[in-house]
Amino acid sequence: MISVHEFGVEKVHSTRGEIWSPVFSISSDHFWELQFTMQSPETSKFCSLYLYKSAKYWKHNSNRNLPYATIFIKNPVSGAFISKRRLSAEALSKCQVGTGWGYKEFCLTSLLPNYIMCGVYFGEIKFESSNIEIPKSLVSIWIDSFKNKATCDVEFSVNGEKYFASSQILSQRSEYFRSMFTSSWSESRIIKAKELKQEFYSNEPSPCSGMSKNNSCNGFFIEVTDFHHETFLQMLGFLYTNGVVFAKNPDSPNNPLMIFALADKYLIKELRDLAKQEILQNLDFSNASGVLFQIGSKWPDLKEPVMDFFIENFSKIRETKEFKEITTEPEKFPDSSAMLAELLLKLVPKVK
């Protein structure tokens, strides 16, 4: 499995000096940092990028072989790599704690847009010992637990599908669930199931269609009607394992836009950021219209880079089947009139 870590750098051409990523790990005993430096135009035409072993957290008694790594800079809007260089496992093994390995002349600064994404992806990490018998993976055990109500205290009914989870794990990973299970919301709203459902449906819309004490697993019962059960299962899997699988098919319930919407609703920032990154990386002429007109004005932080891509490539996007459908059948796309008006203002210069 390849591990990827990225961080953004804004206003690149006005930055000077070293810019460090947050410390990140690829295992319990491997901790790293990335260092980006925009050189002064007077001294160099290049920027530098290095991968450092974190002096704060690295453990000397690691029992794993270091993997190879590829450091890169890419355009976060198009997802295209501007430059990438591979660092061998041998080179990283020679790197001392607190020092880095990389390239002083990583790429020409003239190639960089004003907002870039620096990152690294690692190859597979393996145990040195080959006689360790690994049982069924912990990830699989967690996923299986979503169908086992024996040890749960939360039951979800997602459009007819039943999933079970731990309120403790959900509360630690999501501010939304933490508020649901620990605040006055749960204390004041948990009443008899029939009364509660009537209150939710008739008077007060909520991100969940209903919540009540759940006799089947001695905890909470939550009914969800506004997302596909497969999308919801991806979210639960992320809360337990920190992993997510995005579908390439835009019609799949696990496409990144659906997962982004779900993560936004349940206040799961890490998943939201991953889905946003996936959306921008896979943005192209054929899907830009659909993405832009689906998000509308819901999420300004996502709309802005998609709009920039759309305007930059409008001459090609306007010829796509997707865009022509939007202009000929605008009733299928909510807020299409407002979005087209906004595009027109950006595309046509103001007349003085």
The string of pLDDT tens digits covering residues 227-248 is: 999 999 999 988 887 888 898 8
CA 286, CA 48: separation in Å to the nearest integer? 34
CA 251, CA 238: separation in Å to the nearest integer? 21
- pLDDT at 204 > cutoff 50: no
pLDDT in tens, 148-183: 776 678 888 998 899 888 888 888 888 888 888 876
- pLDDT at 260 > cutoff 90: yes
pLDDT in tens, 273-322: 889 888 888 888 888 888 888 876 788 888 888 888 888 888 899 899 88
CA 92, CA 120: separation in Å to the nearest integer? 13
What are the C-alpha distances in Å from 106 to residues 45, 81, 90, 98, 112?
Answer: 10, 13, 20, 20, 12
Question: What's residue 151's pLDDT?
Answer: 67
Residue type at 42 in one-letter notation: E
The stretch 323-340 carries a mean pLDDT of 81
**Contact call for residues 145 and 217 (beta carbons, < 8 A):** no
Question: What's residue 235's pLDDT?
Answer: 93
pTM of the predicted model as reported, rounded to 2 decimal places: 0.54
Length of the chain: 352
Question: What's residue 166's pLDDT?
Answer: 85
The stretch 251-277 carries a mean pLDDT of 91
DSSP-assigned letter for residue 319? T
DSSP-assigned letter for residue 118? E
Task: Compute how many other C-beta atoms are within 10 angstroms of the C-beta atom of residue 170.
Answer: 24
Reported as a pLDDT band with limits 50, 70 and 90, residue 351 is very low
CA 120, CA 304: separation in Å to the nearest integer? 25
CA 275, CA 244: separation in Å to the nearest integer? 9
Residues near 39 by beta carbon (within 8 Å), at least 6 away in sequence: 45, 46, 47, 48, 109
Question: What's residue 252's pLDDT?
Answer: 92
* Beta-ladder partners of 69: 87, 122
Radius of gyration of the chain (CA): 24
Residues near 167 by beta carbon (within 8 Å), at least 6 away in sequence: 153, 154, 177, 181, 219, 220
